[in-house]
Amino acid sequence: MNADEMAPEVRSILAAARDRGGGDGRVSVDPRSLADAFASAERDGRVPLIAEVKPTSPTTDGERRGDPVDLAREMVAGGAVALSVLTEPDHFGGSVETLERVRAVIDVPVLRKDFVLDEAALDVAEADVVLLIARFLGDDLEPMLAAARERGFQVLVETHTRAELERAVAAGAEFIGVNNRDLAELEVDLDTFETVAPAAPESVTLIAESGIHTIDDVRRMRTAGADALLVGSAIMDGDVEQNTHRLTHARD
């Protein structure tokens, strides 16, 4: 995807990410297992769900107030087996400090959600899982995957097309996300997961990301092969614990 095919908001996000720089020194993480978290949800009949602490976004009106640590606690109380915390400050209202506070008081795996474009950006924060977006990394995906693993991170590789998913598989990704939101118009279409998922081999753990709001959406993504789901807005909006509970108990 050329820069001019991306939504202006996305171009602005990437420019900010390039300016932000990296951490000093190299992080070394002893991660909480994401695979174990998903397996434990399956064992007790819950939908494996990563709930996202997302104060705002380029496609959200306004900002969610309230202490992110309290929101994170409500998500876990509602049955989320893992959390995603935005650390992007300029467009999503996130912060590294929030991630660190959440991870310090909550014992489920925590995903760092950001636009990590180079190795130094991996050293900004410890997390159990780090997101790498195939679209933005191009040929750097494989070396970045290796760099993240050397530091102890588990990696979620985000894709949006079959070609990207195939690249993620070839690079050795174990956890692959399919983002239902496109980066050109920022529009959500749940067909995306349904179209891309069949290209994944059995060995990969597939996560459906974005645009999941209702129990029917959960079932639809599970039927299409989602091993787990990543949900932000539908949980952040309203009663966080109740929202999470509704979606994690959407078994048929």
- The residues annotated with a catalytic role in the active site are 52, 54, 113, 158, 179, 209-210
Number of residues that bind ligand IGP (CB under 6 A): 14
Residue written as token pair 């705002």: 56
Taking the least distance from each CB to ligand IGP, the nearer of 26 and 115 is 115
Least distance between ligand IGP and beta carbon 25 (Å)? 25
Longest dimension (CA), the chain: 48
Single out the residue of 6, 48, 52, 192 in contact with ligand IGP (rule: CB under 6 A).
Answer: 52
CA terminus-to-terminus distance, the chain = 38
Show the DSSP H helices in the chain as ranges.
8-20, 34-43, 68-77, 89-92, 96-105, 119-122, 134-137, 141-150, 162-170, 191-196, 215-223, 233-236, 240-248
Q: Does 230 bind ligand IGP (CB under 6 A)?
A: yes
DSSP string across 95-118: -HHHHHHHHHH--S-EEEES---S
Find the part of the chain contacting ligand IGP (CB under 6 A) among 17-25, 31-39, 210-218, 241-249: 210-218
Find the part of the chain contacting ligand IGP (CB under 6 A) among 2-10, 36-44, 144-152, 208-216: 208-216
Q: From 139, 97, 132, select the one nearest 117 (Cα to Cα).
A: 132
Taking the least distance from each CB to ligand IGP, the nearer of 209 and 227 is 209
Q: Does 217 bind ligand IGP (CB under 6 A)?
A: no
Q: Does 109 bind ligand IGP (CB under 6 A)?
A: no
Taking the least distance from each CB to ligand IGP, the nearer of 24 and 207 is 207
Q: Does 234 bind ligand IGP (CB under 6 A)?
A: yes
Q: From 67, 54, 63, 77, select the one nearest 101 (Cα to Cα).
A: 67
Q: Does 210 bind ligand IGP (CB under 6 A)?
A: yes
Query: What is the 8-class DSSP label of residue 49?
Result: E
Taking the least distance from each CB to ligand IGP, the nearer of 109 and 232 is 232
Q: Does 157 bind ligand IGP (CB under 6 A)?
A: no
Taking CB under 6 A as the criterion, which residues in 169-188 touch ligand IGP? 179
**Contact predicate 34/154, CB 8 Å:** yes
Single out the residue of 54, 103, 112, 135 in contact with ligand IGP (rule: CB under 6 A).
Answer: 54
Q: Tally the C-alpha atoms within 13 A of residue 140's C-alpha that lie toward its C-beta.
A: 12
Q: Does 132 bind ligand IGP (CB under 6 A)?
A: no
Specify the amino acid at residue 7.
Answer: A
**Contact predicate 226/196, CB 8 Å:** no
Taking the least distance from each CB to ligand IGP, the nearer of 52 and 126 is 52
Q: Which residues bind ligand IGP (CB under 6 A)?
A: 52, 54, 113, 158, 179, 209-212, 230-234
